[in-house]
A and B are shown apart, each in its own frame.
Chain A
Amino acid sequence: MSLRGRRVAVRSAAQSTRHLVVVCGSAVLAFPADLVHGILTAFDVGSQTALTVLNETYPVAELRVQLGLPLAAGSSPEARTVLCSSGVCRRAFRVDQVLGLTEVEHMQVLPLPSHFRGAEREWFAGLFLYLDVVALIVNPDWLLNGRLSPLPSGAIADRQVTNAREKAIVMDTEKSHPAVLVSSLSADLKEANDAEDTPWAQV
């Protein structure tokens, strides 16, 4: 309340952040959505180690490997590759599943408990309650600037090699309302087809 008695109820958009929630191994992770520039299916990516999208190159990494988790036995139909970019650094990460896009108020973000004292303090910037699980927020700085661990030999050969057709799932930032908790991916992400007016289709 101001000195003149007027209630000032300005709610800054900076009080909340959108996150793309994914599954990696048995962990649920959250990418800050402003880093996410696209989501590709395993069919699209095949075994490529680098993706070139709109003249920008994204080295592809297994997020499981970066986090010290065992690799999946094969490629799941729900697996996705998330394109991340800060404008300067670009990387693409394979994840096992995309769960959804959600708006998280900053006050809902909890720090990683201090009992965790290892490299995970660099990996995760915090956590929040997501549906009935806990989502770990991936540290953007580590995600884009951290040293990438190499894939174990033979890991790529196990994957199905398929040339990508021009299909991608792109973030529809205009449709999503910042104040609405989106628990379903379909509400905020749209699947682009081969239409010419879709930037991803020009790749």
Chain B
Amino acid sequence: MQRIRPGLKSSSQRARGIIVFAVGGKRLAACAEEVESVMPWPDFMPVPSRTPYVNAVIRRDRAVLPVFDLAARLQVEALGNASLCLVAKHKDGPLAIRIDQDVPALHMVEPTAIRPHRDADSDILGAYVYEAEAIPVLSLAKLGTTRGEISLLAKSGR
């Protein structure tokens, strides 16, 4: 389900994997080590909730995973009839995120390719510049636990 971006030496010890995916047409990125799996989007079950953007669960075998509504946070809707489910390694446990049907891509990049975000209290690590576009790199481990930074996400697009 993932592609290796050609052109960079993956054998470099300093290189790190970046998963590039899309939600509602907006390109986002995350560190590969924070992505547990990508699978077809399953049926979800709403949960009455007051936690922002966490208001559903999905079943994965005998486990129940909470869903983070990243599309709602970005004020967009996931594109395509066959959305995918990205399972993030969140600090509180696995967290499901609905993403567009475009297959995520794996980019091996040097750490310097990620421009750090100035706000430490954010679930955005920085920006990954690719094809002249600054793609926000999310900290999936902290998603939803910080003040958030909607403005940066809202400004970025394809």
Contact = CB atoms under 8 A, between A and B. Distances in A.
Chain B associates with chain A: yes
B131 interface: no
Contacts of B54: 115-117
Contacts of A123: 48
A10 interface: no
Contacts of A28: 45
B48 A117 contact: no
B47 A115 contact: no
A114 interface: yes
A133 interface: yes
B95 A27 contact: no
Nearest to A64: B48
B117 interface: no
Given A129-B64, A134-B59, A117 B45 contact: no
Interface residues of B, number: 21
Given A68-B48, A68-B50, A115-B93, 14 more contacts: A25-B48, A26-B45, A26-B46, A113-B92, A114-B92, A116-B66, A118-B50, A124-B47, A129-B62, A132-B59, A134-B59, A134-B64, A136-B47, A136-B48
A120 interface: yes
Given A127-B64, A129-B64, A134-B59, A116 B47 contact: yes
Contacts, number: 64
B68 interface: yes
B26 to A, nearest CB: 22
Nearest to B67: A115
Nearest to B50: A118
B interface majority secondary structure: strand
Given A115-B95, A134-B57, A134-B59, A110 B64 contact: yes
5 contacts: A26-B45, A28-B45, A68-B50, A115-B66, A116-B54
Nearest to B90: A115
B65 interface: yes
Interface of B: 43, 45-51, 54, 57, 59, 62, 64-66, 68, 90, 92-93, 95, 144
Contact of B45 (A67, A115, A134): A134
A132 B66 CA distance: 16
A69 interface: yes
Interface of A: 24-28, 67-69, 110, 113-120, 123-124, 127, 129, 132-134, 136
A107 B54 CA distance: 25
Contacts of B65: 113
Contact of B51 (A24, A120, A132): A120
Contacts of A117: 51, 54
A133 B93 CA distance: 21
B42 to A, nearest CB: 11
Nearest to B61: A129
Nearest to A116: B51
Contacts of B47: 27, 116, 120, 124, 136
Contacts of A134: 45, 57, 59, 64
Contacts of B48: 24-25, 27, 67-69, 120, 123, 136
